[in-house]
Amino acid sequence: MERYSAWRLFREALNGHRGWTPAWRSPSPKRRYDAVIIGGGGHGLATAYYLAKNHGMTNVAVVERGWLGGGNTGRNTTIVRSNYYHRESARLYDFSVRLYESLSRELNYNVMFSQRGVITLAHSRHDLEVVARWAGAAQLHGVDAEMVSVDEIKRRIPLLDTSPSARFPVWGGLMQRRGGTARHDAVAWGYARAASRLGVDIIQNCEVTGFSRNERGRVVGVETSLGPIAAGVVGLAVAGHSTVLADLAGFRLPVTSYALQAFVSEPLKPVMDTVMLSLATGAYISQSDKGGLVIGGGLDLYPSYAQRGNLPTAQRVIGALADQMPALGRVRLLRQWAGIVDVVPDSSPILGETPVEGLFINCGWGTGGFKAIPAGGTLLAHHLATGEPHPLAEPFGLRRFATGALIDEAAASGIAH
Amino acid sequence: MLLIPCPWCGPRDEIEFRCGGQSHIQRPEPFDAVSDEAWADYLFTRINPKGVSYERWLHVFGCRQWFNVARDTRTHEIHAVYRMGEPKPDLRGVE
Ligand SMILES: Cc1cc2nc3c(=O)[nH]c(=O)nc-3n(C[C@H](O)[C@H](O)[C@H](O)COP(=O)(O)OP(=O)(O)OC[C@H]3O[C@@H](n4cnc5c(N)ncnc54)[C@H](O)[C@@H]3O)c2cc1C
Ligand SMILES: [Zn+2]
């Protein structure tokens, strides 16, 4: 498989771009793999890549029901940050941000990771206290986080109404300078290409419909729309469909599926060079390199598997932004969509063993797992290959719900993504 | 946009309601004999069906009554509305 480089691009340009070959192989499934990963989103693809790269396991398949990144990985608003409140989370997400910092080189694929900073706005004295406590916690965990003044916020986000009469007055904020955005499709495609190059089989349009078990109940393979595939171990990374697959395997999860919407505006000249999140409204915004404003907000109000999203939530999110950035009031939206996210009571992922032997899980990222893709892949690969949880993954086991050792990021930071 | 038939007020816009999640959950008893696992199930584990979901709703900006809704999570279609305490309706042929 060819390496991508500026020189290569130049040579292909001279040649009318007729020399490019597919970025990954699309073989038909073998009868048996040492590991089968269900779900061709970022977490599944990264898991396959790190199995091959870190553990030398190359007899591996990724089985995807639709197309790569067609789930939440290709639908998210790409915010990457690691200023979480609890130590376990800060370590996990910061490990991921560090992997992002070198990912383009590692994969030989430009994932366009742009550390443009993420600013969280405080809109009241109470918000400001929450944010100060949050910044302090992040700093204790060794994660960069700093308080920013209203003047500094105004300088970075001129569009924002920071006047005293604003509908959502700004009292200050929290900034992580190492946070930013990346290109979502590129993360999926980059991992797929790099995994395929190491020998992993990427199998699209192949839905897992059941599990085969041995007499002891251990999972020994998957049933798929392309026939049975035997597996040494199976990894599950299907986000909003986690309970659907868990039902097939015969166990339950504390996961509820909700629609989360996103919106993109018509392309504009550069108006914003950072990411803004609002604690009062839950709305957030950044500008893509193509000029579109990328906008998101809170979850839809009831559980859903319909990937479209409903109008009241759309109105709430867009209305809030129009209040906060009045100059955008007449900007038209180009597209709107939703992804089905896997929400867990403590808003932290579920990583590791399931009650079924031979089946390991990576789910529960909810509204914020794009930033965690490199970490999630590394940790699931570690568990599949060694049979032991990675130290960073250990606190996030399914057992925490029975022991009470929840990692409650919902209560701690109260913000999605 | 959903039109939700409140058993007391009739069909009203979804923005007047709040979804309270899965219905028909029984608290395990007796309290001091419940295992940690059973208690965790009670608190956290949900069916999360892809299909008909039996859930509690509150008409929060209306009569402020709770009631049950049988709703398909794939299409959001409402198949039945019934009062708290009533058993699940028979939806064979729909589910
Ligand atoms: C609108 C929106 C905005 C978001 N914004 C952010 C953000 O700004 N920052 C952030 O960090 N996170 C964000 N997220 C969350 C993030 O997108 C997800 O947490 C992350 O992409 C999950 O990746 P994944 O690989 O686990 O799941 P997915 O990318 O959803 O992949 C799961 C795959 O499993 C496949 N699958 C399902 N069932 C089967 C089956 N039976 N057989 C085979 N394959 C199956 C699906 O087709 C899918 O491709 C957002 C999500 C949404 C929807
Ligand atoms: Zn009513």
B35-58 confidence digits (pLDDT tens): 999 999 999 999 999 999 999 999
Both tokens of residue B30?
A: 């007796």
Ligand 1 centroid–CA B87 distance in Å is 36
pLDDT of residue B94: 73
For residue A222, the ligand closest to its alpha carbon is 1
> Domain with B70 in it: what CATH number?
3.30.2270.10
Q: How many residues does chain B have?
A: 95
Residue B73 domain-assigned? Answer: yes
pLDDT the model gives residue A384: 98
Query: What pLDDT was estimated at residue A415?
Result: 61
Question: Where in chain A are the domains?
Answer: 24-82+84-109+183-254+346-413, 118-179+257-343
Q: State the burial class of residue B93 (Cβ atoms within 10 Å of its Cβ: 0-12, 13-18, 19+).
A: exposed
Maximum C-alpha span of chain A: 69
What's the complex ipTM? 0.96
- Judge whether B14 and B1 are in contact, CB under 8 Å: yes
B85: how many CB neighbours lie within 10 A of its CB? 7
Whole-number pLDDT of residue A190: 98
> Has this prediction a pTM greater than 0.95?
yes
For residue B10, tell me if it sits in a domain. yes
3-state secondary structure chain A: CCCCCHHHHHHHHHCCCCCCCCCCCCCCCCCEEEEEEECCCHHHHHHHHHHHHHHCCCCEEEECCCCCCCCHHHCCCCEECCCCCCHHHHHHHHHHHHHHHCHHHHHCCCCCCECCCEEEEECCHHHHHHHHHHHHHHHHCCCCCEEECHHHHHHHCCCCCCCCCCCCCCCEEEEECCCEECCHHHHHHHHHHHHHHCCCEEECCCCEEEEEECCCCCEEEEEECCCCEEEEEEEECCHHHHHHHHHHHCCCCCCEEEEEEEEEECCCCCCCCCEEEECCCCCEEEECCCCCEEEEEEEEEEECCCCCCCHHHHHHHHHHHHHHCHHHCCCCEEEEEEEEEEECCCCCCEEEECCCCCEEEEECCCCCCCCCHHHHHHHHHHHHHHCCCCCCCHHHCCCHHHHCCCCCHHHHHCCCC
B63 lies in some domain? yes
In this predicted structure, what is the pLDDT of residue A67? 98
Cβ-Cβ contacts under 8 Å, B71 against chain A: 302
- For the sheet containing A284-287, what is the strand order? A146-148, A172-176, A118-122, A275-278, A284-287, A293-303, A256-265, A333-343
Q: Whose CA is nearest to atom 32 of ligand 1?
A: A238
Residue A312 at interface with chain B, using a CB cutoff of 8 Å = yes
B14, B40, B53 member nearest A303 (Cβ): B53
Cβ burial of B79 (10 Å; 0-12, 13-18, 19+) is middle
pLDDT of residue A50: 98
Question: How close does chain A come to B72, measured CA to CA in Å?
Answer: 8
pLDDT < 50 regions, chain B = none
Answer whether A208's CB lies under 8 Å from A63's CB: yes
Kindly state whether A334 is in contact with chain B, defined as any CB-CB distance less than 8 angstroms: no
Nearest to A120 by CA among A156, A78, A88: A156
Q: Is the residue at B89 inside a domain? A: no
Q: Tell me which of A187, A305, A370, A415 to substitute to probe ligand 1's pocket, judged by most ligand atoms within 8 Å of the beta carbon.
A: A370
Q: Is A405 on the interface with B (CB under 8 A)?
A: no
Q: What is the pLDDT of residue B1?
A: 81
Instruction: State the number of CA atoms in the 13 A half-sphere of A212 facing the CB.
Output: 13
**Residue B14 included in any domain:** yes
Domain that residue B68 falls in? 3-83
Chain B contact for A243 (CB, 8 A cutoff):
yes
- Which CATH number describes the domain made up of A24-82+84-109+183-254+346-413? 3.50.50.60
Q: What is the pLDDT of residue A413?
A: 63
Closest CA to A169 of A278, A305, A11: A278
With contacts defined as CB-CB under 8 Å, which chain A residues touch B37?
A: 402
Chain A residue with minimum CA distance to B75:
A306
What was the pLDDT predicted at B92? 81
Contact yes or no for A345 and B53 at CB 8 A: no
Q: Count the alpha carbons within 13 Å of B64 in the hemisphere toward its beta carbon.
A: 0
Q: Has residue B16 been placed in a domain? A: yes
- Give how many domains chain B has, as a whole number: 1
Over its length of 417 residues, how does chain A's per-residue pLDDT go in tens digits? 689 999 999 999 999 999 999 999 999 999 999 999 999 999 999 999 999 999 999 999 999 999 999 999 999 999 999 999 999 999 999 999 999 999 999 999 999 999 999 999 999 999 999 999 999 999 999 999 999 999 999 999 999 999 999 999 999 999 999 999 999 999 999 999 999 999 999 999 999 999 999 999 999 999 999 999 999 999 999 999 999 999 999 999 999 999 999 999 999 999 999 999 999 899 999 999 999 999 999 999 999 999 999 999 999 999 999 999 999 999 999 999 999 999 999 999 999 999 999 999 999 999 999 999 999 999 999 999 999 999 999 999 999 999 999 999 986 665 655
Do B40 and A401 lie within an 8 Å CB cutoff? yes
Atom of ligand 1 lying closest to residue A70 CA = 49
Chain B interface includes A256 (CB < 8 A):
yes
Tokens 């396959």, residue located: A48
CATH T-level topology, domain A118-179+257-343? D-Amino Acid Oxidase; Chain A, domain 2 (3.30.9)
Which among A306, A312, A402 is the nearest to B37, CB-wise? A402
Chain A, chain B: beta-carbon pairs less than 8 Å apart = 64
